[in-house]
Amino acid sequence: MLHTKLDSFPNEFLWGAASAAYQVEGGYDADGKGPSIWDGFTKIPGKTYLGTNGDVAVDHYNRYKEDVSLMAEMGLKAYRFSVAWSRIIPDGEGEVNEKGLQFYDNLVEELITHNVEPVLTLYHWDLPQTLQDKYGGWESRETIPAFKKYCRALFERFGKKVKYWVTFNEQNVFTAMGYRWQSHPPNVSDLKRMYQANHVINLANAEAINLFHELVPQGQIGPSFGYGPSYPLNARPENVLAAENNDAFNNQWWLDVYCKGEYPVFVMKQLEKLGIAPEVTEEDQKLLLSAKPNFMGINYYHGGTVRENRLENTVETDVETKEFSATDPYLMQPKNEQAQSPEVPMFESVSNPYLETTEWGWEIDPVGFRLALRRVYAQYGLPIFVTENGLGAIDVLEEDGTIQDNVRIEYLEKHLLEMKKAISDGVEMIGYCAWSFTDLLSWLNGYKKRYGFVYVNRDEHGEKDLKRLKKESFYWYQHVIQQNGENIQM
C-alpha cells in the first residue's frame, strides 16, 4: 500500500524501552530473594557463553536511580521491566517478601517521578526454583494457584500506580527453548511435556487476566508474543500452503488462545495425530474463553520463509536452502529429526534470498514488521503494544569514550518507518518499547551481544566499573521522542 503522506504517531504514543529482571538486576540473593530456575541453569557448564550469569548482571538493583535518571534525560515515555517472582515470594507460593515488593515500589515511584510510564511484566522466564523442584514447574497445574497468588500481591500493591501490564513474555520462545531444545531451563527435550506445560501456562495467563480485571478494572493487560510473519519461498501454490501451515503452527497456536480463547483446529489435529496434544478439559475451555486481554504485546525481530515440506517436495532441492532448513527461523536453534517431527509434514524452513542478517544470523526485515502489525491487528482486533524490537550487535567503546552504533540506528529507523506506515494503514498502536534501554545479559550470549541505548562497561570476564555510557543511538532516540516520530519519514 502506497502512502503519499504518513499519519503522525498518536499524541500519547508511548516511546519506550524494555528490560527483564534476570538480565539487568543482579542482586541474586539480596534482601531475601529466593533462587530462580535461571540461577541454577546458568551454572551448568556449557549452557551459556563463557559461563556468564545474572548474579550481578548490570547491577540495576543497586543502580536503578541512575538508570531512571538516564531514561528521563532521554525523554523516555515508558519503561517496560519485569518483576522477579522469587524476589516477591522466595519459594514461589509462601510468604510475601516485603523487601522485594519495596524494591519495585521504589522503582515504580522513581519512574513516575520522572514522568516515565511503568509497564510491568509479570513473568519473563524466571520461575522460582522451589516450584520447579516441588511440582515440576509449568508442567503441573499446582503452579497456577502459586502464580495467581504472586499476581495478586502485585495487583494489590501496584494496581493504582501501574496502568499497563504484561502477563507472559514470549511464551512461544521459553517453552520451546526450555522443553524442546534444552537451551533454557528446565533443560528438557520432550515435545509432549512441552505442549502440556504450554497449556498450563495458557491457563495461568487466563487466571491472571481475570484476576487483574477484578482488582485493577482501570488498567490494561495483555500477553507479549514473539511474532514472526510467514513467507512462502515463491508463488508456487505448495509453498503458499506451507506458509499457511507455518503461520498456524508458529503464531496462531498461541494467538488464537490469547485472543479467542480456543486452540486452532488445524494444529490441534496434527498434534493429536502425533500423540503430543495437551489435555484440555471442559473447565479449561471455559477458563480460556473467559479471559479477554486489553491489548496484544508484540515482540518483533524477524519472520521465517518456508517451502513445501520435504516429504512431498520434488521440485526445489537446492543445497543452500537444505542447509538452512536445519535451523528454526525464529529461535535459531539446531534441529534434529526427532525434534522437528511436528513441522516435517507441514513445511520446511529456508533462507530468504532478499534479506541480510545480523552478526547472529537473524534476518533483518523491517517490512516484515509492518506486515506483522497488520496481520495481528486484522486477525484479532486488539490495540498493539510493541514490547520488544531491537538489534543485538558487538558495540565498541572507543578511546574517546564514544560508542558509534550507527548500524543500530539504521536498523531501528527502518523499523520505526514501517511501524508508522502500519499506523497509516489503520493499525491501532499504544506504544513501542525498544529492546533494550541499557546493555544487559543476553541470556545465552553473555555480554558480548549488546542491545542497549546505554553502554554498560562490563564483559564476560568481569564487572569492571559498570559505568553507564550513552551510545550514539541514545541521542538519536532522544530526538525521535522529542519529535514524536515526525522526523521518521519516507
388 belongs to the catalytic site: yes
The pLDDT profile of the chain, 490 residues, written as one tens digit per residue, is: 789 899 999 999 999 999 999 999 999 999 999 999 999 999 999 999 999 999 999 999 999 999 999 999 999 999 999 999 999 999 999 999 999 999 999 999 999 999 999 999 999 999 999 999 999 999 999 999 999 999 999 999 999 999 999 999 999 999 999 999 999 999 999 999 999 999 999 999 999 999 999 999 999 999 999 999 999 999 999 999 999 999 999 999 999 999 999 999 999 999 999 999 999 999 999 999 999 999 999 999 999 999 999 889 988 866 444 444 444 434 444 444 434 579 989 999 999 999 999 988 899 999 999 999 999 999 999 999 999 999 999 999 999 999 999 999 999 999 999 999 999 999 999 999 999 999 999 998 999 999 999 999 999 999 999 999 999 999 999 999 999 999 999 8
pLDDT, position 77: 98
Asked if residue 28 lies in contact with residue 54, where contact means CB atoms within 8 angstroms, the answer is: yes
Catalytic residue among 388, 413, 428, 460: 388
Q: Where are the alpha helices (DSSP H) in 142-281?
A: 143-158, 171-179, 191-215, 237-247, 253-260, 265-274
Q: Compute the distance between CA of residue 215 and CA of residue 411 in angstroms, rounded to an integer.
A: 40
Q: Compute the distance between CA of residue 324 and CA of residue 361 in angstroms, rounded to an integer.
A: 11
Which CATH superfamily, name and number, covers 14-482? Glycosidases (3.20.20.80)
pLDDT, position 318: 62
Q: Compute the distance between CA of residue 310 and CA of residue 461 in angstroms, rounded to an integer.
A: 44
Q: Compute the distance between CA of residue 55 and CA of residue 78 in angstroms, rounded to an integer.
A: 26
- How is the chain split among helix, strand and coil, in percent rounded to 5? 40, 15, 45
Q: Compute the distance between CA of residue 253 and CA of residue 376 in angstroms, rounded to an integer.
A: 13
Half-sphere exposure of 202 (CA within 13 A, CB side): 30
pLDDT, position 490: 82
| Global confidence as pTM | 0.95
For the chain, give me the number of helices (H) and strands (E)? 17, 13
pLDDT, position 294: 98
C-alpha dist (Å) from residue 318 to 238, 307, 401:
17, 12, 47
pLDDT, position 324: 41
Any idea where the domains of the chain sit in the sequence? 14-482
In this structure, how many other beta carbons lie within 10 angstroms of the beta carbon of residue 475?
Answer: 13
Smallest Cα–Cα separation from 130: which of 185, 93, 183? 93
pLDDT, position 340: 53
| 182: DSSP letter | S
pLDDT, position 2: 87
